[in-house]
Structure 1
Amino acid sequence: MNDTTTPTTAIPISNPNAPTQNDALNSTQDNTSLFSSSLISAEVSSRLPEGYSIRPLRRSDYNGGFLPTLKVLTTVGDISEEAFTTRYDFMATRNDTYYILVVCDENNIVVGTGAVVVERKFIHHLGMVGHIEDIAVAKNQQGKKLGLRIIQALDYVAEKVGCYKSILDCSEANEGFYVKCGFKRAGLEMAHYYEQSPSTS
């Protein structure tokens, strides 16, 4: 008697822990830079301590020491990863305006950061000005000239994208440091602070 049983096809068992296509996509997005790494000065990079690197901010830096480093400078607040990502994505869609870079140690942990924000003007033939902001270096990394390298890198970015000058605000105690970075006193900073709820936009 012939066996007429229809052969069955083996059904592969999926591994629930295996990375999915979405995981790979998210990983790629997390490692996407805020702006082009071609704007990072090779000369500045070469002057960092051995094993250190300087690069544009990434989404993944939320878990890589970025916010703790900023806390050395000022109040940061309790920022969720979702809120961080929302702000990052806002800046990423305007990557000709926001340039935030980070310095990482030999373990790829963020230990320094700074930003230059490009302001577009009508004066000076539709000129652009780079506002250098939020320079911070982790306390256990100070004394390695990381702050100097960050300023130099941001100044390079501002010049490369077409700014006719870059400016910053600092305390009198830090004036000497910024003079060494090539800046000079040019006026007086004024501020008017407003009481308002933290922005989530």
Structure 2
Amino acid sequence: MLIYSILRATCAATTIIAGETEYNIRKLTTDDVKKPEFICLFGELTTTDETTEEVIVKTFERKEASGLHHQLGLFTSDGTVVGTLTVLLDPKYAKNGRPAAFIEDVIVAEKHRGKELATYLMKEAEDISTKNGAYKMILSCNEALSTKETSPYLKSGFTKDCCTMRKNLKKEEKAEEEAAKMEVSD
């Protein structure tokens, strides 16, 4: 059984007890993104370029400085980063400046999955979106996650809507896309 307790008033974090394990969801810091497990998480979501700590920190700081990115981390009680989620608020002209909230980088480390942790990250994203006056939340995911009963997105109230189009701009990403098509057709 999961226990969900919000401690925002005292420490701006959410504590989740999943079985015997305690997790915390809070804003990421510069120290968090320097941890080796942080960038490793992204390898569970997508292909990653070789990078350096300096580039990661500069990217984090640029996103934070925009005021439009809300970057969350999911941590074990010892401070290990085991999940992430980013809310990007995009003010819309047609909505009098009210933002659409784009949900990105939803990752829970494989060995921590199956505990509804992504659902809790999504709840935090909804809270951030609501507090910032967003009129909708949008995320892109693969077909399986848009229809699977256990999908944290469906559990969070998302419904399948429209179609996402994509154009890769780097040669190696185009090669990866072609390789993925070959695997599907085999």
TM-score relative to the length of structure 1: 0.71
3-state SS of 2:89 partner: strand
Q: Residues 196 and 120 of structure 1: is their aligned pair in 2 closer, same or farther, counting only changes over 3 Å?
A: farther
Quick one: percent identity of the two aligned structures? 26
Paired residue total: 158
Determine which structure has more spread, i.e. the larger CA radius of gyration.
Answer: 1
Whole-angstrom distance in 1 between the partners of 2:15 and 2:39: 25
Q: Residues 169 and 41 of structure 1: is their aligned pair in 2 closer, same or farther, counting only changes over 3 Å?
A: farther
CA shift digits 1:113-141 (9 cap, x unpaired): 11111111100222210000111111111
Do 1:41 and 1:156's aligned partners in 2 also have CA atoms closer than 8 Å?
no
Whole-angstrom distance in 2 between the partners of 1:118 and 1:189: 18
Quick check: 82-91 or 108-117, which moved more? 82-91
Q: What's the offset of the Cα at 1:64?
A: 5.5
1:186 — aligned with what?
161
- The one-letter code sitting in structure 2 at the alignment partner of 1:123 is A
2:184 — aligned with what?
none
CA shift digits 1:152-197 (9 cap, x unpaired): 1111111111111111111221014122111112211111221269
Whole-angstrom distance in 2 between the partners of 1:51 and 1:164: 32
3-state SS of 2:96 partner: helix
Structure 1 residue 138 and structure 2 residue 113: aligned? no
Structure 1 residue 86 and structure 2 residue 58: aligned? yes
Whole-angstrom distance in 1 between the partners of 2:15 and 2:79: 17
- The one-letter code sitting in structure 1 at the alignment partner of 2:127 is Y
- The one-letter code sitting in structure 1 at the alignment partner of 2:166 is A
3-state SS of 2:58 partner: helix
1:54 — aligned with what?
25
TM-score relative to the length of structure 2: 0.77
Tell me: higher relative CO, structure 1 or 2? Use CA pairs within 8 A at least 6 residues apart: 1
- Root-mean-square deviation (Å): 2.3
